């Protein structure tokens, strides 16, 4: 059976942010489907991910999912009966015992957002460099900064059954994150059955793709 991984990017990003990780996963025979989100809100993004999952299942794949940052909330709402495992990377999670969303980002994060006329938000190049990529090389950061776009920003919702109570879920915490607070991530990790951490900024898919790939493969291996 082919193993497929549906990937959800975070705010301001697009499927391109997974390119390095996808290349490594595909070398291991894993089919990767990076979905373009920013569809208008949490439920629109969730529907896009569920559609990708369902399509891969129809083709005979066993499907897994990963969300990064703002990609975590829609991944957490995927029907757990349709995926084998999930990975939540450096993003918000709602549910029993979870820390409040008010503790998710640093106090100055909101002031860095630049409202757009269509309801999206953006961030200056300088703030994005410092917030998302401070451990990345200049080449890695500039490549990403050239591709950022305005995005709809939303929170997380509690599913009827938290996804980590239904299937194996792994939470990856980034210990030197300047977007999502490391202590907030650590509090989530304590509530998720499987968790690990990476000594990195908010963007291990750029700067630590080899280590991230190994963690993802281990997480996928927890499928029943």
Half-sphere exposure of 128 toward its Cβ, with a 13 Å CA cutoff?
Answer: 23
Q: What is the dihedral of CA 66, 68, 73, 78, to 10 degrees?
A: -10
Query: Across residues 180-197, what is the average pLDDT?
Result: 97
Question: What is the structure's pLDDT at 103?
Answer: 86
Contact between residue 156 and residue 94 where contact means Cβ atoms under 8 Å apart? yes
DSSP 62-74: EEEEEEEGGGHHH
What's the domain range around 7?
A: 3-220
List Cβ neighbours of 58 (8 Å cut-off, separation of 6 or more).
none
Question: Per residue in 94-141, pLDDT tens?
Answer: 999 999 988 899 989 999 999 999 999 999 999 999 999 999 999 999
Question: What is the structure's pLDDT at 193?
Answer: 92
Question: Per residue in 198-212, pLDDT tens?
Answer: 999 999 999 999 999
Distance CA 97, CA 47 (A): 26
Number of domains in the chain: 1
Q: Would you place residue 2 in the very low, low, confident or very high pLDDT band (cuts 50, 70, 90)? A: very high
Q: What is the CATH number of the domain that holds 145?
A: 3.40.50.1820
Contact between residue 50 and residue 108 where contact means Cβ atoms under 8 Å apart? no
Question: What is the structure's pLDDT at 1?
Answer: 82
């Amino acid at each position: 059976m082919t193993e497929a991984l549906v990937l959800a990017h975070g705010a301001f990003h697009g499927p391109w942010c997974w390119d390095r990780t996808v290349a490594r996963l595909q070398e291991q025979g894993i089919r990767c489907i990076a979905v373009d989100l920013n569809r208008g809100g949490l439920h629109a993004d969730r529907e896009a991910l569920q559609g990708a999952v369902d399509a891969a299942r129809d083709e005979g794949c066993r499907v897994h999912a990963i969300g990064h940052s703002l990609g975590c909330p829609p991944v957490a709402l995927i029907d757990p009966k349709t995926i084998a495992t999930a990975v939540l990377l450096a993003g918000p999670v709602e549910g029993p015992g979870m820390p409040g969303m008010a503790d998710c980002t640093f106090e100055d994060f909101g002031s860095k957002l630049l409202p757009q006329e269509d309801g999206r938000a953006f961030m200056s190049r300088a703030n994005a460099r410092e917030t998302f990529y401070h451990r990345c090389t200049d080449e890695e950061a500039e490549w990403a900064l050239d591709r950022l776009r305005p995005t709809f920003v939303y929170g997380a919702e509690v599913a009827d059954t938290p996804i980590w109570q239904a299937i194996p879920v792994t939470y990856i915490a980034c210990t030197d994150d300047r977007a999502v607070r490391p202590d907030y991530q650590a509090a989530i990790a304590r509530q998720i059955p499987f968790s690990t951490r990476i000594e990195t900024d908010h963007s291990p898919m750029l700067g630590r793709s080899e280590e991230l790939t190994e963690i993802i493969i281990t997480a996928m291996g927890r499928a029943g």
